[in-house]
Amino acid sequence: MTKDKDNTFLRQRRLLLAGMAGALVLPRVADAFDVPAEPRLITRDYAKVRKHFHTKLLQKGPAPDKYEPLDAPVGADKIFYRSGYGGELELIAWVSKYKRESKPKPAVLFLHGGNAMGRGHWNLMDPYVDAGYVVMMPTMRGENGQMGNFSGFYDEVDDVLSAADRLAHLPGVDANRLFIAGHSIGGTLTMLASMSTEKFRAAAPISGNPDAFRFFNRYPQDIRFDDENSHEFEVRTALCYAQSFKCPVRVVHGTDESHFNDRAGLLASRARSAGVRIETDTVTGNHTSALPAEIAQSIRFFHGVAA
């Protein structure tokens, strides 16, 4: 392995390991942070709930992770998209280089792990590009020194939806074949975003946490909102709105991530009770090592949905 390749591998590994903090949870969880056995809003449309609820941030500031500059990596262009109320936030995204053709190309919005975007995340996107997709990886508010306040799985969903709009309107992109995938924290946002819009043909959350009660019990330092209001946890928890998925979903995690087993099963059972097409699976490996195979599976899933 050359020195340059070795350095790239190490950067990628560090970034992916940092993303593990966005998903790893412990089996024993305090009762106060348990998802209700029967969520009171399970039949409510999550998209409509979002229109009426605004998170109350008690602490305002940037995302917690260390970050690197957002210069475009090899094979990508840096573009901007607007989010927030009235579009006051200008945020950066990377988009794979592609040639506009007579037939519009399908596209994947991929949400990175952790709370900062880096080249190590982008290095994993080649399989999507090789499969014929335009790939866009957006930053979220407060990440990498950008504008906006970190909220932990709520206002960031607005950024995802705004990024999806930007991707759908890129020249040569087929807005009717827009897919979403994400890893770790990006996997959690993938779930919530695919409950919030009908823009996506299919969603592939990878090692995402559908249970914000459990997540924030493990990472209380990431709580920026009013934690005395249980609804603040509900609106960040896919399990509480599992019937709201608006496209086919494939939920996957590594075999070494057994702490996800019960949550993934419960998410699927609740979604299926409302007729949602949802699959769950595991791939041999851990939070990091399973990712290449999980991405490959997401591509096969997207192809199958679009066939």
Single-letter amino acid code for the residue at 260:
F
Instruction: Give the residue with greater pLDDT, 103 vs 39.
Output: 103
Nearest to 89 by CA among 153, 22, 152, 160: 160
**Tens digits of residue pLDDT in 183-201:** 999 999 999 999 999 999 9
| Average pLDDT estimate for 286-300 | 98
**Tens digits of residue pLDDT in 10-62:** 344 334 433 443 333 333 333 445 676 777 888 999 999 999 999 999 999 99
| Average pLDDT estimate for 135-161 | 98
Number of domains in the chain: 1
* DSSP conformation class of 104: P
Question: What contacts 24+ positions apart, CB below 8 Å, involve 294-300?
Answer: 294/183, 294/206, 294/207, 294/252, 294/253, 294/254, 295/124, 295/127, 295/128, 295/181, 295/206, 296/127, 297/204, 297/250, 297/252, 298/181, 298/204, 298/206, 298/250, 298/252, 299/127, 299/128, 299/131, 299/133
Q: What is the pTM of this model?
A: 0.89
Parent domain of 265: 3-306
- CATH number of the CATH domain containing 175: 3.40.50.1820
Question: Is 211's pLDDT higher than 60?
Answer: yes
Phi, psi (rounded to 5 degrees) for 148: 100, 165
Structure tokens at 16: 């992916």
What is the structure's pLDDT at 42? 87
Residue 229 CB partners (closer than 8 Å, separation 6+): 56
